[in-house]
A and B are shown apart, each in its own frame.
Chain A
Amino acid sequence: MRATHEVFHAIADANRRKLLDMLAGGDFPAQELASRFNVSFAAVSQHLKVLHEAGLVKRRAEGRQRIYSLAPLPLREVDDWTASYRKFWQGRLKRLRSYLDSKGSGAEPS
Protein backbone atom coordinates (compact mmCIF):
# COMPACT_ATOMS: atom_id res chain seq x y z
CA MET A 1 0.00 0.00 0.00
CA ARG A 2 1.42 3.36 -1.04
CA ALA A 3 1.54 6.27 1.35
CA THR A 4 -1.44 8.57 0.97
CA HIS A 5 0.91 11.47 0.67
CA GLU A 6 2.57 10.04 -2.45
CA VAL A 7 -0.75 9.68 -4.23
CA PHE A 8 -1.90 13.21 -3.42
CA HIS A 9 1.50 14.57 -4.38
CA ALA A 10 1.37 12.71 -7.68
CA ILE A 11 -1.97 14.20 -8.69
CA ALA A 12 -1.16 17.69 -7.39
CA ASP A 13 0.51 18.49 -10.72
CA ALA A 14 -1.67 19.45 -13.70
CA ASN A 15 0.59 17.71 -16.23
CA ARG A 16 0.52 14.50 -14.25
CA ARG A 17 -3.27 14.65 -14.05
CA LYS A 18 -3.31 15.15 -17.81
CA LEU A 19 -1.12 12.08 -18.24
CA LEU A 20 -3.56 10.08 -16.11
CA ASP A 21 -6.45 11.39 -18.22
CA MET A 22 -4.70 10.23 -21.39
CA LEU A 23 -3.94 6.83 -19.92
CA ALA A 24 -7.58 6.49 -18.91
CA GLY A 25 -8.24 6.30 -22.66
CA GLY A 26 -5.79 3.45 -23.26
CA ASP A 27 -2.18 2.34 -22.99
CA PHE A 28 0.50 4.48 -24.61
CA PRO A 29 4.25 4.41 -25.19
CA ALA A 30 6.15 7.14 -23.37
CA GLN A 31 7.15 8.75 -26.68
CA GLU A 32 3.56 9.15 -27.77
CA LEU A 33 2.50 10.60 -24.42
CA ALA A 34 5.37 13.06 -24.60
CA SER A 35 4.49 14.13 -28.14
CA ARG A 36 1.20 15.56 -26.88
CA PHE A 37 2.82 17.85 -24.33
CA ASN A 38 4.56 21.17 -24.70
CA VAL A 39 7.28 20.11 -22.32
CA SER A 40 10.42 18.08 -22.98
CA PHE A 41 10.49 14.31 -23.17
CA ALA A 42 12.71 14.34 -20.08
CA ALA A 43 10.07 16.26 -18.14
CA VAL A 44 7.30 13.89 -19.18
CA SER A 45 9.54 10.98 -18.31
CA GLN A 46 10.06 12.46 -14.86
CA HIS A 47 6.29 12.90 -14.37
CA LEU A 48 5.75 9.27 -15.38
CA LYS A 49 8.34 8.23 -12.84
CA VAL A 50 6.47 10.05 -10.05
CA LEU A 51 3.19 8.46 -11.14
CA HIS A 52 4.86 5.06 -11.22
CA GLU A 53 6.28 5.49 -7.74
CA ALA A 54 2.83 6.43 -6.45
CA GLY A 55 1.51 3.22 -7.97
CA LEU A 56 -0.78 5.09 -10.37
CA VAL A 57 0.71 3.76 -13.61
CA LYS A 58 2.22 0.47 -14.67
CA ARG A 59 4.80 0.06 -17.39
CA ARG A 60 5.88 -2.81 -19.55
CA ALA A 61 8.43 -3.28 -22.29
CA GLU A 62 7.32 -4.00 -25.85
CA GLY A 63 10.31 -4.29 -28.12
CA ARG A 64 12.28 -1.13 -27.50
CA GLN A 65 9.29 0.82 -26.25
CA ARG A 66 8.02 1.36 -22.75
CA ILE A 67 4.24 1.14 -22.65
CA TYR A 68 2.40 2.86 -19.83
CA SER A 69 -1.02 1.94 -18.50
CA LEU A 70 -3.28 3.33 -15.80
CA ALA A 71 -3.43 1.67 -12.37
CA PRO A 72 -6.35 3.55 -10.83
CA LEU A 73 -6.70 1.74 -7.50
CA PRO A 74 -4.68 4.20 -5.36
CA LEU A 75 -7.09 6.95 -6.48
CA ARG A 76 -9.48 5.46 -3.97
CA GLU A 77 -7.49 7.46 -1.42
CA VAL A 78 -8.76 10.59 -3.11
CA ASP A 79 -12.31 9.35 -3.06
CA ASP A 80 -11.94 8.58 0.65
CA TRP A 81 -10.90 12.16 1.18
CA THR A 82 -14.05 13.50 -0.47
CA ALA A 83 -15.99 11.01 1.63
CA SER A 84 -14.46 12.50 4.76
CA TYR A 85 -15.92 15.89 3.82
CA ARG A 86 -19.30 14.29 3.22
CA LYS A 87 -19.11 12.59 6.61
CA PHE A 88 -18.19 15.88 8.23
CA TRP A 89 -21.36 17.53 6.97
CA GLN A 90 -23.47 14.46 7.72
CA GLY A 91 -22.27 14.62 11.33
CA ARG A 92 -22.94 18.35 11.58
CA LEU A 93 -26.43 18.01 10.12
CA LYS A 94 -27.21 15.33 12.69
CA ARG A 95 -26.27 17.90 15.28
CA LEU A 96 -28.46 20.53 13.61
CA ARG A 97 -31.33 18.07 13.78
CA SER A 98 -30.92 17.47 17.51
CA TYR A 99 -30.61 21.22 18.03
CA LEU A 100 -33.88 21.86 16.18
CA ASP A 101 -35.64 18.94 17.85
CA SER A 102 -34.64 19.96 21.35
CA LYS A 103 -35.26 23.68 21.10
CA GLY A 104 -38.78 24.35 22.32
CA SER A 105 -40.18 21.23 20.71
CA GLY A 106 -43.82 20.74 21.61
CA ALA A 107 -44.11 24.38 22.61
CA GLU A 108 -45.80 25.33 19.37
CA PRO A 109 -49.45 24.44 18.92
CA SER A 110 -49.80 21.86 16.19
Chain B
Amino acid sequence: MKLNVLLVEDFQHPVERVWQGLTDPAALRVWLMENDFEPRVGKRFILHGRENNIDCEVLELDRPSRMLWSWVHGEGDAPTRVEFRLDSILGGTRLTLSHTGEIDPLIGSRLREGWPGKLADLRAHLAQAA
Protein backbone atom coordinates (compact mmCIF):
# COMPACT_ATOMS: atom_id res chain seq x y z
CA MET B 1 0.00 0.00 0.00
CA LYS B 2 1.41 3.33 -1.05
CA LEU B 3 1.88 6.09 1.44
CA ASN B 4 2.25 9.43 -0.30
CA VAL B 5 1.97 12.58 1.78
CA LEU B 6 3.10 15.88 0.31
CA LEU B 7 2.75 19.15 2.20
CA VAL B 8 3.94 22.63 1.27
CA GLU B 9 4.12 25.37 3.90
CA ASP B 10 5.41 28.93 3.66
CA PHE B 11 7.05 30.62 6.63
CA GLN B 12 7.89 34.27 7.21
CA HIS B 13 11.34 33.37 8.44
CA PRO B 14 14.72 33.09 6.73
CA VAL B 15 15.84 29.65 5.57
CA GLU B 16 18.47 29.40 8.32
CA ARG B 17 15.85 29.89 10.99
CA VAL B 18 13.51 27.24 9.62
CA TRP B 19 16.48 24.91 9.18
CA GLN B 20 17.27 25.36 12.85
CA GLY B 21 13.66 24.42 13.68
CA LEU B 22 14.11 21.20 11.72
CA THR B 23 17.56 20.20 12.94
CA ASP B 24 17.87 21.36 16.55
CA PRO B 25 16.90 18.46 18.86
CA ALA B 26 15.38 20.91 21.34
CA ALA B 27 13.22 22.37 18.57
CA LEU B 28 12.19 18.92 17.34
CA ARG B 29 11.17 18.08 20.89
CA VAL B 30 8.81 21.05 20.89
CA TRP B 31 7.02 20.45 17.62
CA LEU B 32 7.59 16.81 16.70
CA MET B 33 8.56 14.35 19.44
CA GLU B 34 11.08 13.59 22.14
CA ASN B 35 14.24 12.50 20.34
CA ASP B 36 18.00 11.90 20.29
CA PHE B 37 18.48 13.47 16.88
CA GLU B 38 21.81 14.84 15.62
CA PRO B 39 22.15 16.64 12.31
CA ARG B 40 24.66 14.39 10.57
CA VAL B 41 24.39 11.77 7.84
CA GLY B 42 24.27 8.24 9.21
CA LYS B 43 22.92 9.29 12.61
CA ARG B 44 20.34 6.79 13.82
CA PHE B 45 17.84 8.33 16.16
CA ILE B 46 14.60 7.52 17.87
CA LEU B 47 11.43 9.55 18.00
CA HIS B 48 9.64 8.65 21.18
CA GLY B 49 5.95 8.42 20.44
CA ARG B 50 3.38 7.96 23.11
CA GLU B 51 2.56 4.44 21.97
CA ASN B 52 5.67 3.39 20.16
CA ASN B 53 9.10 4.51 19.14
CA ILE B 54 9.95 5.39 15.58
CA ASP B 55 13.39 4.36 14.34
CA CYS B 56 14.89 6.94 12.07
CA GLU B 57 18.16 7.60 10.31
CA VAL B 58 19.54 10.69 8.63
CA LEU B 59 20.16 9.52 5.06
CA GLU B 60 21.00 12.82 3.43
CA LEU B 61 21.76 16.26 4.77
CA ASP B 62 22.36 19.26 2.57
CA ARG B 63 22.50 22.27 4.85
CA PRO B 64 20.38 24.40 4.84
CA SER B 65 18.11 23.17 2.09
CA ARG B 66 17.40 19.46 2.25
CA MET B 67 17.21 16.61 4.72
CA LEU B 68 16.12 13.01 4.20
CA TRP B 69 15.21 10.55 6.93
CA SER B 70 14.30 6.93 6.87
CA TRP B 71 11.34 6.29 9.17
CA VAL B 72 10.52 2.83 10.50
CA HIS B 73 7.34 2.75 12.48
CA GLY B 74 7.63 -0.66 14.05
CA GLU B 75 10.15 -3.47 14.21
CA GLY B 76 10.34 -5.34 10.93
CA ASP B 77 8.44 -2.69 8.98
CA ALA B 78 9.77 -1.53 5.66
CA PRO B 79 11.36 1.90 6.00
CA THR B 80 9.45 4.88 4.68
CA ARG B 81 11.07 8.18 3.75
CA VAL B 82 10.55 11.64 5.15
CA GLU B 83 12.06 14.48 3.18
CA PHE B 84 12.26 18.13 4.18
CA ARG B 85 13.16 20.66 1.53
CA LEU B 86 13.64 24.38 2.10
CA ASP B 87 13.52 26.99 -0.64
CA SER B 88 14.06 30.67 -0.21
CA ILE B 89 11.02 32.59 -1.42
CA LEU B 90 10.08 36.26 -1.36
CA GLY B 91 9.61 37.20 2.28
CA GLY B 92 10.56 33.87 3.75
CA THR B 93 10.96 30.17 3.24
CA ARG B 94 8.97 27.42 1.59
CA LEU B 95 9.06 24.05 3.31
CA THR B 96 8.15 21.00 1.27
CA LEU B 97 7.58 17.89 3.35
CA SER B 98 7.05 14.49 1.83
CA HIS B 99 6.44 11.18 3.54
CA THR B 100 6.45 8.30 1.10
CA GLY B 101 6.83 4.57 1.05
CA GLU B 102 5.25 1.20 0.86
CA ILE B 103 3.49 0.10 4.01
CA ASP B 104 1.95 -3.20 4.97
CA PRO B 105 -1.79 -2.54 5.13
CA LEU B 106 -2.03 -4.46 8.38
CA ILE B 107 0.41 -2.00 9.92
CA GLY B 108 -1.60 0.74 8.28
CA SER B 109 -4.58 -0.52 10.18
CA ARG B 110 -2.62 -0.33 13.43
CA LEU B 111 -1.34 3.17 12.69
CA ARG B 112 -4.79 4.28 11.80
CA GLU B 113 -5.84 3.54 15.32
CA GLY B 114 -2.78 5.30 16.78
CA TRP B 115 -2.82 8.67 15.06
CA PRO B 116 -6.22 10.03 16.08
CA GLY B 117 -5.17 9.94 19.74
CA LYS B 118 -2.01 11.87 18.98
CA LEU B 119 -3.97 14.40 16.99
CA ALA B 120 -6.34 14.90 19.90
CA ASP B 121 -3.33 15.55 22.15
CA LEU B 122 -2.01 18.01 19.63
CA ARG B 123 -5.29 19.86 19.44
CA ALA B 124 -5.38 20.11 23.22
CA HIS B 125 -1.82 21.40 23.27
CA LEU B 126 -2.56 24.05 20.64
CA ALA B 127 -5.69 25.17 22.44
CA GLN B 128 -3.69 25.53 25.63
CA ALA B 129 -0.92 27.50 23.95
CA ALA B 130 -3.38 29.90 22.30
Contacts and interface: CB of A to CB of B under 8 A. Distances in A.
B108 A93 contact: no
Interface stretch (B34-42, B61-69, B109-117): B109-117
7 contacts: A4-B109, A84-B116, A90-B7, A95-B126, A96-B32, A97-B11, A98-B126
B67 to A, nearest CB: 13
Contacts of A80: 112
Nearest to A102: B129
Contacts of A100: 11, 13, 17-18, 21
B75 interface: no
B99 A95 contact: no
Interface string A1-42: 000110011011000000000000000000000000000000
A86 interface: yes
Interface of A: 4-5, 8-9, 11-12, 78, 80-82, 84-100
**Main SS class of interface, B:** helix
Interface centre among B95, B108, B123 (most CB of A within 10 A): B108
Given A4-B109, A12-B105, A82 B119 contact: no
Q: Which 10 A-B pairs have the closest CB atoms?
A: A95-B31, A8-B109, A96-B31, A84-B115, A81-B112, A91-B122, A8-B105, A12-B105, A86-B5, A99-B31
Nearest to A10: B105
B30 A81 contact: no
Contacts of A89: 5, 7, 97, 99
B111 A81 contact: yes
B5 A96 contact: no
A83 B126 CA distance: 20
A85 B3 contact: yes
A88 B119 contact: yes
A97 B9 contact: yes
Nearest to A87: B119
A37 B123 CA distance: 48
Contact of A88 (B13, B17, B106, B118): B118
B27 interface: yes
Nearest to B4: A82
A93 B95 contact: yes
B1 interface: yes
